[in-house]
Amino acid sequence: MANKTRVCARVNGEQVEFLCEPYQSLLECLRDILGLTGTKDGCNDGNCGACSVLLDGQLVNSCLVLGVEIEGREVTTVEGLADWRGLHPIQLAVVEEDAVQCGYCTPGILIAAKALLDREPNPSERRIRTWMAGNLCRCTGYDKIVRAIMRAARSCAQYDPPLYNGRNKARR
Amino acid sequence: MRPFEYQAPTSIGEAVALLADTGERARPLAGGTDLLVQLRRGLLEVDLVVDVKKIPELNRISFHPVEGLTVGAAVACAVLCEHPDVRAAYPALIDAASIIGGPAIQGRATIGGNLCNAAPSGDAIPAMIVVGATCTVAGPGGTRAVPVETFCTAPGRTVLGEDEMLVSIRFPAPMPNSGARYLRFIPRGEMDIAVAGAGAWVLLSDDHAQITDARIALAAVAPTPLLADAAGASLIGKAPTEDAFAEAAKLAREAARPIGDVRGTEAQRRHLVGVLVKRALRGAVRRATGDLATPSGRSTEPVQGGRNHG
Amino acid sequence: MRDLTGRQETIKVPGKTVGQVIAALDAAYPGIRDRVCEGDRIGPAVAVSVDGRIAQLELFESVGEQSEIRFLPALSGG
Amino acid sequence: MRKKETGRADQSTLTGGYAVIGTRPPRYDAVDKVTGRALYGPDIRLPGLLHGKVLRSPHAHARILSIDTTCAEALPGVYAVVTAEDLPRAEDRRARLGEGAVNFKYLCDNILASAKVLYVGHAVAAVAASTPHIAEQALALIDVEYSLLPAVVDVLEATRDTAPLLHEHMGTRSLAGESRTPSNTASHFQQVKGDPEKGFAEADVVVEREFRTATVHQGYIEPHAGTAIWGADGRLTVYATTQGAFTARDQLAELLDLPMSRIRVVPTEVGGAFGGKVTTYVETVAALLSRRAGRPVKIVMSRSEVFLASGPTSGTAIRVKMGATRAGRITAAQAELYYEAGAYPGSPVGSGAGVMFGPYDIPHGQIDGYDVVVNKPKTGSYRAPGGTPANSAAEQVIDELAERIGMDPLEFRMLNSAKEGTRQIDGAVHTHIGCYEVLETAREHPHYSAPLEGPHRGRGVAHAYWGNWGAQSSSAISVNADGTVAMVTGSVDLTGTRTSLAMQAAEALGLTLEQIVPSVADTDSIGYTEVSAGSRTTVATGQSVVKAARDVIAQMSERAATLWGVPADTVSFHRGTFTTGQDATKSTTFGELAAMLSRTGGPITGVGNIDVQEWGAAFGTHIVDLEVDPETGKVTILRYTVVQDVGRAIHPSEVEGQMQGGAVQGIGWALYEGYQYDEGGQMLNPTFLDYKLPTALDVPSIECVIVEVPYPKHPYGIRGVGETPILPPPAAIANAIYRAVGRRMDRLPMTPGRILEKMGVI
């Protein structure tokens, strides 16, 4: 069996270091090694979006990235959205619009929505639905999710990105 | 997943050496959106995965109005789709690259990978074939050029030797009065594999009254993406009319060798070839005459045969 | 069960519990008890309703003067 | 008596004199779920945790000759291997479990096959190892010898005498007993009302059609997952993602032959279920592995395992015949329903028959239902089990009847609408229902009269009835000294019921929602509570929390009486304040009295144990506009409206969520979803790539119209909501496709290829 590889990266703003097998996916490394179980496994082949994370700000399915590939890179998961100041505007909008039912797709939805709003502050409903097509939700019928993203687009404008500092670390 | 080793060389030489040493039990890794799924499903077993994303040549996009465009094999679709020169000069490439999976897939997937995966349904391949793209392949003995239409030899098989790798894809500079379009049909709005796909490229006379050259290529209707020569040739010298498109569509349907599978029946695929070739030709001509825009960014609004599209 | 009752759909029989009603039915149309019951319980494939409510007490469920008793296939829901 | 809310109107239009009910507070679980803190089945992490994997049959039908696990056991990192040999043999008896009758012998064989495998994916052995990857490698080392048998996956094929038999000793059960001749038809029932022949003779127009529907899956995004810890003391703790901790415990007790007191099931957050997480699959296997290994074992299904080896719902063959007079009265209805049960008996054909003609007053009718085993996974429940195929068949025939007699499809339905006292074909009598009100609201809705221009566009409607459920629930409410309360229920929260239940308790206690902290108990901590299914949780567990709240008030009234030296029966409670008729000067708030508990006899816990025997049915009408691409057959939904009677909306946003989610699942069933098999019984599309759930791009915003016809026997008049909305979409869409392209569809899913075939294009 292959020797474990040492990987150093920034995850949610914190420097992390871990050992993993070369064949372990980023999803497995986040959940089983780093204990960040907020990122979900829904299909493990890139068709449901539940495992969505940001890799250097780029939206990816963490099931289709090897853990060893994140060496020296920055990963953002759902656990990194809120900071000591409270919920991120996208999280807040999802709560306010009742866009959560079972909540299993929610972490991926939040990350995908953030990736969209980071690029396009004012997407149309059609654009949101097109962008979110990679994130399956079986409970909500999507309506409240789309409304939440539109609401978040309005509030994101006046929001400073999370600050990662001691208080923030202590919080997790 | 069965264990394997991982290497991330920073030069073509190292990469080729690693592939040569391990032989058929090594595979290059670009976006991984096909490779990792195949490894996980046990469809493929390897001892070594060679991550080629750290090799400069494979990450480059270079455009020259005369030389044309070179796209590194590891360039992600998302990056390609945002490149201003590519968007301006190669809209058909955007048509295809922007519909390969949703945004999360496009952040990883590459047109080089799409080519090396050699799926009959690979959307980028007909788009590359019709604009006359060629592959630059590196091996121990240096590099060689392979036209895209001959790169795939069978489902999942290519001309690449065990010790060879795809470095980049070259696209000739676009000619004035030329235009290209790629369209596919899928049941949902996004996220599906093409049931059938069609790419078309046309070159019009200066007055736009006549088609002086044309190429048509098809996806998911033969063991490999298919250049439909006769269909393209049938348009040469004709006016860009619905009748001419219909004749080309008929020839393309005859060239298709579809199978029936979980995604569609043989009859449905053959029928869709006709529909899509007509729609792709209309789009290509509109592009040649400058009245059809490039789709906006990655994971664009679906253009694949949906209502009022193409 | 209409084959046993000569295609009669509604039958009036006396009884203060579902068990007594089934006994009375069985006396009038022999064989009915075997079809509805397994031992001293209502069979798992069958549900008995009294005035539109499933008889939770099965054979011991009490029935009124004008009660309507129906035998249904046991259904599943979701 | 009826209130309506269109879309997202002002909350005050719904509050109906209540302080909490009818408002839209944020859900209790929302913040945990948006921050990634909520723990689901696959998220359980424990010291020394091993990972289990299940070896599954590659064959659809085969006899198991031998299983050799020695090589797998020898692999470093492997701690345990189990097969059916490790299961105590369950006796061949049935019991009511969840909502249906379960035969434990079958349940046992489905969890680990003993003599035969009956479908591709059928579990034959399992391994626990230090990593999932090692467990996977170990599976490859298990040597199973099969002798192959012919398979049958088509419901009608399976009923033929020539079909291979799945269960050699099974005859057809019916009210006429069990036949001696072995058959794949596990049961047959017949329901007759009046004289169907006479009814059809009275009809001016008779329409008869046959329909087929494919096997479909609930499609929850969270796969099945179970973690078992078999302690050295012989006590078993299981973390399960399940709709019912108690039914999960009872299944484990039966399958492992343990007393219930030795098993504690702790329900995790559930990542979608829709009926599919009533039956247990991996929990028992994880327990066996944990006992062997002496360490905790977690099993998480892969997506393809979920498709191949959980409990999808039946593919069906349905024949419907209906007759009506020129004046628009339905005179007779007849149907034959053939439902796939999967590998073991027990399809939802009964409830399909029970609801298909339920919305209408039909004088004469007959329904024959057949439960048929095939070489596919044992079917489970899926949102309104059995209802959608039957409803889609009936509502397409009704649409055609209306067309043939030249009547508006909603007018036709209104003219024949069931009302209180209407006797259904199975003999059941409708109680207080809002069937007509829903149809009328749909007809008045602007969507129904809005112009729909353009070629190949059509508007369709369909109407549906679902009976809902009540049954047993248990809850407890404990009073804190500061006047807040802790509310514990046995109902697993699938979709926000902690909130909708707390809202009912708050209303009954005169408290604000913030003063109530709700939680879901494990099986050691509260009384038996039925599965969260059958649209029962907010209704039945709601009545249980109201009962617990009233118990709290009664006990606190006694404390007030002691303090004031007045008889307890003179103390009354209103909107948070206790008073006594004996002395107008005496008055105390809930909070003040709560602070006195320690000095007036100690803690107070109100208990609400209940078995709800009467509940309200729910009716819904859907309106859809769509366009068909005549060249590709692709359907684009342009507008969609859901109208439903919910009795009273406790939390309108959650009600809308149920209506929208159910409708979109129905849209998936109608257009995209379906298991595909080859002749050998191999499923061809066990991935989310080729088993196609609707994406955000495939559906429009679903407009909701909440109709409120309160159910008199519920303290707040509420009816079950969750299941009804999945029923109408396939028929509504089929009826719209007919109007768009002039072709009647007869198969689900209505894929572009099938539409092109119907249009004669291919």
The predicted model scores a pTM of 0.94
Mean pLDDT across the stretch A61-80?
98
Does B216 reside within a domain? yes
Structurally, chain D folds into a number of domains equal to: 2
Mean pLDDT across the stretch D600-617?
96
Inter-CA distances, C72 with B148, C75, D190, D360, Å: 67, 8, 9, 20
Whether residue D154 is predicted with pLDDT greater than 60 in this model: the reply is yes
CATH number for the domain spanning B234: value is 3.30.390.50
Check CB contact of B302 with chain D, cutoff 8 Å: yes
Which of D141, D307, D634, D750 is the mutation pick for testing B, counting most B CBs within 10 A? D634
Residue B308: list chain A partners with CB under 8 A.
none
What residue in A sits closest to D725 (Cα-Cα)? A141
Both D478 and D583 in one domain: the answer is yes
| pLDDT at position D662 | 98
- Identify the helix (H) or strand (E) that includes residue D494: none
Q: Which two tokens stand for residue D600?
A: 């007036």
Under the banding of pLDDT at 50, 70 and 90, the label for residue A166 is: very low
Inter-CA distances, D380 with D167, D385, D386, D600, D650, Å: 19, 8, 10, 51, 29
Cα D268 → chain centroid: 18
Check CB contact of D634 with chain B, cutoff 8 Å: yes
Both D485 and D600 in one domain: the answer is yes
3-class SS at D24? coil
Which of A1, A29, A138 is the mutation pick for testing D, counting most D CBs within 10 A? A138
A124: phi then psi, degrees, rounded to nearest 5: -75, 165
D58: phi then psi, degrees, rounded to nearest 5: -80, -5
B299 to A131: CB separation less than 8 angstroms, yes or no: yes
- Identify the helix (H) or strand (E) that includes residue B306: none
Both D638 and D716 in one domain: the answer is yes
Final residue of a domain: which of A80, A115, A133?
A: A80
Residue A110: list chain D partners with CB under 8 A.
34
A41 to D300: CB separation less than 8 angstroms, yes or no: yes
Q: Quick one: D611 exposed, middle or buried, by C-beta within 10 A (0-12, 13-18, 19+)?
A: middle
Please, what's the largest Cα pairwise distance for chain A? 51
Tell me the DSSP string of D205-249. Answer: EEEEEEEEE--B----SSPPEEEEEE-TTS-EEEEE--S-HHHHH
D16: phi then psi, degrees, rounded to nearest 5: 50, 40
Shortest distance between the Cα of D36 and any Cα of chain A, in A, equals 4
Does D649 reside within a domain? yes
Shortest distance between the Cα of D61 and any Cα of chain C, in A, equals 27
What residue in D sits closest to B278 (Cα-Cα)? D631
Shortest distance between the Cα of D258 and any Cα of chain A, in A, equals 32
Under the banding of pLDDT at 50, 70 and 90, the label for residue C2 is: low
Both A72 and A111 in one domain: the answer is no
Contact call for A and B: 3+ CB–CB distances under 8 Å:
yes
D753 to B265: CB separation less than 8 angstroms, yes or no: yes
Residue D35: list chain A partners with CB under 8 A.
38, 78-79, 81-82, 87, 91
Shortest distance between the Cα of B189 and any Cα of chain A, in A, equals 8
Structurally, chain A folds into a number of domains equal to: 2
Under the banding of pLDDT at 50, 70 and 90, the label for residue D98 is: very low
- Contacting chains of D (3 CB pairs or more, <8 Å) are A, B, C
Tell me the DSSP string of A87-113. Answer: --HHHHHHHHTT--SS-SSHHHHHHHH
| Each residue's pLDDT tens digit, D202-227 | 999 999 999 999 999 999 999 999 99
Of residues D308, D301, D285, D388, the one with CA closest to residue D622: D388
Domains and CATH numbers, chain C: 18-73 (3.10.20.30)
D39 to A23: CB separation less than 8 angstroms, yes or no: no
Q: Which two tokens stand for residue B240?
A: 């860009």
* Residue D64 near residue D144, CB atoms below 8 Å: yes
Final residue of a domain: which of A58, A80, A102?
A: A80
Of residues D284, D296, D298, the one with CA closest to residue D248: D284
Residue B187: list chain D partners with CB under 8 A.
634, 671-672, 692, 751-752
Within 10 Å of residue C8's Cβ, how many Cβ atoms? 10
Contact call for B and C: 3+ CB–CB distances under 8 Å:
no
Q: Which residues pair with A10 in a beta bridge?
A: A15, A74
Inter-CA distances, D271 with A42, A44, D40, D532, Å: 10, 16, 7, 13
Both A68 and A134 in one domain: the answer is no
Does B221 reside within a domain? yes
D428 to C49: CB separation less than 8 angstroms, yes or no: yes
Under the banding of pLDDT at 50, 70 and 90, the label for residue D10 is: very low
Residue A69: list chain B partners with CB under 8 A.
51, 53
C-alpha D377/C-alpha D60 separation (Å) is 10
CATH number for the domain spanning D557: value is 3.30.365.10
What residue in A sits closest to D43 (Cα-Cα)? A37
Mean pLDDT across the stretch A156-163?
66
CATH number for the domain spanning A96: value is 1.10.150.120
3-class SS at D676? coil
B4 to A23: CB separation less than 8 angstroms, yes or no: yes
Does A161 reside within a domain? no
What residue in A sits closest to D695 (Cα-Cα)? A133
| Each residue's pLDDT tens digit, D500-528 | 999 999 999 999 999 999 999 999 999 99
Does A167 reside within a domain? no
C-alpha D88/C-alpha D110 separation (Å) is 14
Both D462 and D480 in one domain: the answer is no
Categorise residue D214: left if φ over 0, alpha if ψ from -120 to 50, beta otherwise. beta
| pLDDT at position D88 | 87
Instruction: Specify the higher pLDDT residue, D7 or B274.
Output: B274
Question: What was the ipTM of the complex prediction?
Answer: 0.94
- Contacting chains of C (3 CB pairs or more, <8 Å) are D
What residue in D sits closest to B267 (Cα-Cα)? D762
Both D552 and D662 in one domain: the answer is no
| Each residue's pLDDT tens digit, D368-394 | 999 999 999 999 999 999 999 999 999
Does A163 reside within a domain? no
* Residue A67 near residue A28, CB atoms below 8 Å: yes
Whether residue D260 is predicted with pLDDT greater than 70 in this model: the reply is yes
Which of C25, C26, C75 is the mutation pick for testing D, counting most D CBs within 10 A? C75
* Residue B161 near residue B139, CB atoms below 8 Å: yes
3-class SS at D450? coil
3-class SS at A75? strand
Both A59 and A12 in one domain: the answer is yes
What angle in degrees, to the nearest 10, is found between the helix axes of D652-671 and A143-156?
A: 120
DSSP annotation of D509: H
Inter-CA distances, B285 with B126, B213, B310, D712, Å: 17, 12, 11, 67
Structural domain of B255: 180-288
* Residue B198 near residue D631, CB atoms below 8 Å: no
A137 to D302: CB separation less than 8 angstroms, yes or no: no
Categorise residue D342: left if φ over 0, alpha if ψ from -120 to 50, beta otherwise. left
Does A139 reside within a domain? yes
D35 to A102: CB separation less than 8 angstroms, yes or no: no
User: Which A residues in the span 7-36 are in contact with D, Cβ-Cβ below 8 Å?
Assistant: 21, 23, 31-32, 35-36
Report, as ranges of residue numbers, the positions in chain B whose pLDDT lies below 70. 296-310
Mean pLDDT across the stretch C25-32?
84
Q: Quick one: C23 exposed, middle or buried, by C-beta within 10 A (0-12, 13-18, 19+)?
A: middle
A102 to D697: CB separation less than 8 angstroms, yes or no: no
* Residue D532 near residue D492, CB atoms below 8 Å: yes
Both D463 and D557 in one domain: the answer is no
- Identify the helix (H) or strand (E) that includes residue D158: helix D155-159
Shortest distance between the Cα of A72 and any Cα of chain D, in A, equals 24
* Residue D246 near residue D264, CB atoms below 8 Å: no
C-alpha D54/C-alpha D112 separation (Å) is 9
Which of B18, B33, B117 is the mutation pick for testing A, counting most A CBs within 10 A? B33
Both D606 and D644 in one domain: the answer is no
- Give me the residue from D221, D223, D303 closest to A138, CB to CB: D221
Does B34 reside within a domain? yes
Beta carbons within 8 Å of B277's beta carbon, 6+ residues apart: B198, B200, B216, B218, B228, B231, B245, B248, B249, B252, B253
| pLDDT at position D495 | 94
Residue B103: list chain A partners with CB under 8 A.
59, 112, 115-116, 131, 134
Beta carbons within 8 Å of B13's beta carbon, 6+ residues apart: none
Does B43 reside within a domain? yes
Both D636 and D502 in one domain: the answer is no
| Each residue's pLDDT tens digit, D667-688 | 999 999 999 999 999 999 999 9
- Identify the helix (H) or strand (E) that includes residue B251: helix B242-255
- Give me the residue from D103, D369, D381 closest to C78, CB to CB: D381
B108 to A60: CB separation less than 8 angstroms, yes or no: yes
* Residue D597 near residue D603, CB atoms below 8 Å: yes
Over the Cα atoms of chain A, what is R_g? Answer: 16
C-alpha B29/C-alpha D370 separation (Å) is 53
Both D552 and D626 in one domain: the answer is no
Does D197 reside within a domain? no
Inter-CA distances, D350 with C76, D385, D719, Å: 7, 9, 22
Total beta-carbon pairs less than 8 A apart between chain A and chain B: 95
Both D491 and D631 in one domain: the answer is no
Question: Which residue in this structure is represented by tokens 């609930």?
Answer: D218
* Portion of chain D with pLDDT greater than 90, in percent: 93
Inter-CA distances, B199 with B96, B185, B210, D369, D573, Å: 9, 12, 19, 51, 76
A66 to B36: CB separation less than 8 angstroms, yes or no: yes
* Residue D541 near residue D510, CB atoms below 8 Å: no
For residue D88, the one-letter residue type is: P
Whether residue D588 is predicted with pLDDT greater than 70 in this model: the reply is yes
C-alpha D214/C-alpha B86 separation (Å) is 44
User: Within 13 Å and on the Cβ side, how many CA atoms surround A65?
Assistant: 28
Both D460 and D474 in one domain: the answer is no
Structural domain of A47: 5-80
The whole-chain average pLDDT of chain C stands at 77
Q: Which two tokens stand for residue D755?
A: 């539409």
User: Which D residues in the span 732-751 are in contact with B, Cβ-Cβ below 8 Å?
Assistant: 751
Q: Which two tokens stand for residue D477?
A: 């409410």
Check CB contact of D133 with chain B, cutoff 8 Å: yes
For residue A126, the one-letter residue type is: R
Structurally, chain B folds into a number of domains equal to: 2
User: Which D residues in the span 693-722 are in contact with B, Cβ-Cβ below 8 Å?
Assistant: 694-695, 697-698
CATH number for the domain spanning B21: value is 3.30.43.10
CATH number for the domain spanning A16: value is 3.10.20.30
* Residue D626 near residue D636, CB atoms below 8 Å: yes
Beta carbons within 8 Å of D6's beta carbon, 6+ residues apart: D445, D703, D705
Beta carbons within 8 Å of D704's beta carbon, 6+ residues apart: D5, D7, D641, D642, D644, D655, D656, D659, D660
Does D411 reside within a domain? no
Cα D321 → chain centroid: 28
- Give me the residue from D34, D220, D697 closest to A110, CB to CB: D34
Strands of C10-76, DSSP E: 37-38, 41-42, 46-50, 53-54, 69-73
Contact call for C and D: 3+ CB–CB distances under 8 Å:
yes
Under the banding of pLDDT at 50, 70 and 90, the label for residue D425 is: very high
Final residue of a domain: which of D573, D590, D612?
A: D612
Beta carbons within 8 Å of D691's beta carbon, 6+ residues apart: D217, D219, D307, D673, D674, D675, D685
Q: Which two tokens stand for residue D510?
A: 């005169």
Both A53 and A14 in one domain: the answer is yes
D35 to A81: CB separation less than 8 angstroms, yes or no: yes
C53 to D614: CB separation less than 8 angstroms, yes or no: yes
Q: Quick one: B43 exposed, middle or buried, by C-beta within 10 A (0-12, 13-18, 19+)?
A: exposed
Which of D91, D92, D174, D175 is the mutation pick for testing C, counting most C CBs within 10 A? D175
Question: Which residue in this structure is represented by tokens 């002039």?
Answer: D742
Structural domain of D598: 470-612
Both D453 and D499 in one domain: the answer is no
Both A49 and A106 in one domain: the answer is no
Final residue of a domain: which of D563, D581, D612?
A: D612
Mean pLDDT across the stretch D4-33?
73
| Each residue's pLDDT tens digit, C31-49 | 888 878 877 777 766 778 8
Final residue of a domain: which of D612, D632, D647?
A: D612
C-alpha D693/C-alpha D669 separation (Å) is 9
